[in-house]
Homo-oligomer: A and B are copies of this chain.
Amino acid sequence: MISALGHALLGLLAREPTTGYRLTRLMDRDLAYFWAAKHSQIYPELARLERDGHVRHTVVGGAGPRPTKRYELTADGRRALVEWLATEPEPTVERDPTLLRVSSLWLLEREAARAVVGRVRRLSTERLALYERFAAEFDSEPAASDPTAPVFATRATVEMGIRSQRARLDWCDWLDQRLA
């Protein structure tokens, strides 16, 4: 069985073979807003994927005490990835600390409650600006409109990020009005 993180790594390696270190940075940059992982989780997962024959590595130098490993998909790994893509999507288990706070908002005075909403709005505004910068960056690449190009898929996930944040900002307005 391949974990969600495993599928994330296979997906990145399908784009381009690379090192665990660079996978860590890629996840931080490209996937962080929908799937986060630290290097301490990524290195063992790569080892497991290799043990199960989904990836293989070649040593490409040694910038430190240990060898630098370049990972790539095996034919089997690629097959497993494509198969998974077509399976039924597992329902998202949301864990939203903001909604957790809001679910107890009735305990606060009006002004304090509005302050909470204000903080949510600020955080969302920042996120939205970030995602919109990402989107502009990706749109400047011609391949962004080609459904078989990796950047197309990345652009699509950023679009969802943007729409999520816009929805959240609209919701802040809705809530704020009701607290007026």
Contact = CB atoms under 8 A, between A and B. Distances in A.
Interface string A130-148: 0000000000000001011
A84 to B, nearest CB: 8
Contact of A34 (B95, B116, B123): B95
Given A147-B110, A150-B106, A35 B100 contact: yes
Contacts of A103: 8, 11, 30-31, 34, 153-154, 156-157
Secondary structure of the A side of the interface?
helix
Contacts of A81: 104, 107
A115 B100 contact: no
A160 interface: yes
Given A35-B95, A178-B147, A104 B153 contact: yes
A127 B179 CA distance: 27
A108 B148 CA distance: 7
Size category of the binding interface on chain A = 35 or more
Interface string A1-43: 0001001101100100000000000000011011110000000
Q: Which 8 A-B residue pairings sit nearest by Cβ, starting from the closest?
A: A34-B99, A11-B104, A167-B167, A34-B96, A163-B167, A106-B153, A99-B157, A105-B153
30 contacts: A4-B95, A7-B104, A8-B100, A8-B103, A10-B104, A11-B104, A14-B107, A31-B100, A35-B96, A35-B100, A82-B107, A84-B101, A85-B104, A85-B107, A85-B108, A86-B115, A89-B97, A89-B98, A89-B119, A89-B120, A89-B123, A92-B97, A103-B156, A104-B153, A105-B147, A106-B152, A145-B178, A159-B175, A163-B168, A166-B167
